[in-house]
Chains A and B, each alone.
Chain A
Amino acid sequence: MNVMIMGCGRVGARVAGILEELGHSVTVLDMNQAAFSRLPEGFRGKRAVGNGMDGPVLERTGIRDMDAFFALTQGDNRNYFASMMAKEVYGIRRVLCRVYDPGREQIFHELGLETFSPTSVGAQLMVDMLLREKGR
């Protein structure tokens, strides 16, 4: 699969590394060149500097050849915007949008995106850890 990842933070860099290891072709997009230092050593995928909310930037980076798009910047609304762009303007088949705010995640999902909230998932995980009987 050709996958584009917008936002090369800790999560973005990790997702990029895992996908590449699984044999996928990965393109990473970030506004800040320095962010690419988070990518694992030996990462072979494409690195592009630019704003993922900008159509021409996405086109230059090869959005039209992508099978999947991850929106992983720090801004929930920015992720929403870029995801909608990938989905509606460029017709990308799989678009995954990270949303920190659980309330916003629900509405973004209702508006038609595949969403993921690390806040909800993380909170649930921690509660489960606490309540799980030790040694079980």
Chain B
Amino acid sequence: MYVIIAGGGKVGFYLAQELINGNHEVLVIEREAGRCKQIADEIGEHVMNGDGCEASTLDRAGVVRADLVAAVTGDDEDNLVVCDIARQRGVPRTIARINNPKNELLFKKRGVETTISATQAILAQIEQELPTHEMIPLLQMHSGLELVEIRLPNTSPVAGRSVREVLLPPESLISLVVDPGGVPRIPSGETRLNAGDALVVVTRKESLEVLRESLIGATHGLDT
């Protein structure tokens, strides 16, 4: 694959290194001549000094035969310009790094296929750690199974029901019930579930959303 990377900052540099290691043809376009030299010292001739937001620069980089253009500068406006020009030149796939998550909609509307937001990724991580969050991933197993902790909210549709009555997705199992006092029990079919209980559940990765719905109830924001 021929990949053009616009922006030779940390993201662009490490991305280039990985792709070169994966035997791809790579060219980094970087505006600053000094930074270009640094990059060239590390990865050789896979770097070009220029402004990736200019069509003429992209043309010089051979954009017409690129399989993919990744725009990874720190400025969303520059990344959009790079991707839009690349697609206009016929590049089949464009990927943009998004710095302000609110900008994602515009990139999608412009047909930038994949958008990656470091901010969004970190935010997702933080949200997972928040204690108010009702489903916490504990462990991912190689078999594709996942261990999650679920705290039953007051509005849980299974509060007051026995384990036998709970409809779980296939290959899912409630393996531990910890009551609000912190006492753990291995549940039987007769075990009654109460709001405030923490359940440790084994499930398949693809069943997480179904599991959430059956144990926690409607998704956040859908209060009606």
B88 partner residues in chain A, CB cutoff 8 A = 107, 110-111
A residues touching B (Cβ–Cβ < 8 Å)? 53-56, 75, 77-78, 80-81, 84-85, 88-89, 101, 103-104, 107, 110-111
Determine the distance from Cα of A53 to Cα of B102 in the docked complex, in whole angstroms. Answer: 10
A53 touches B55 (CB 8 A): no
Contact residues of B: prevailing secondary structure: helix
CB < 8 Å neighbour of B81 from A54, A77, A89, A103: A77
B110 touches A56 (CB 8 A): no
Residues of B in contact (CB 8 Å), total: 20
Chain A interface: which of B70-78, B176-184, B204-212? B70-78
B53 partner residues in chain A, CB cutoff 8 A = 77, 104
Interface residue ranges of B59-114 to A (CB < 8 Å):
75-78, 80-81, 84-85, 88, 100, 102-103, 105-106, 109-110
CB < 8 Å neighbour of B76 from A53, A89, A103, A110: A53
A89 touches B106 (CB 8 A): yes
Answer yes or no: B119 CB below 8 A from chain A CBs. Answer: no
B105 partner residues in chain A, CB cutoff 8 A = 55, 89
Name A81's closest neighbour in chain B (CB-CB).
B77
B110 partner residues in chain A, CB cutoff 8 A = 84, 88
A111 touches B84 (CB 8 A): yes
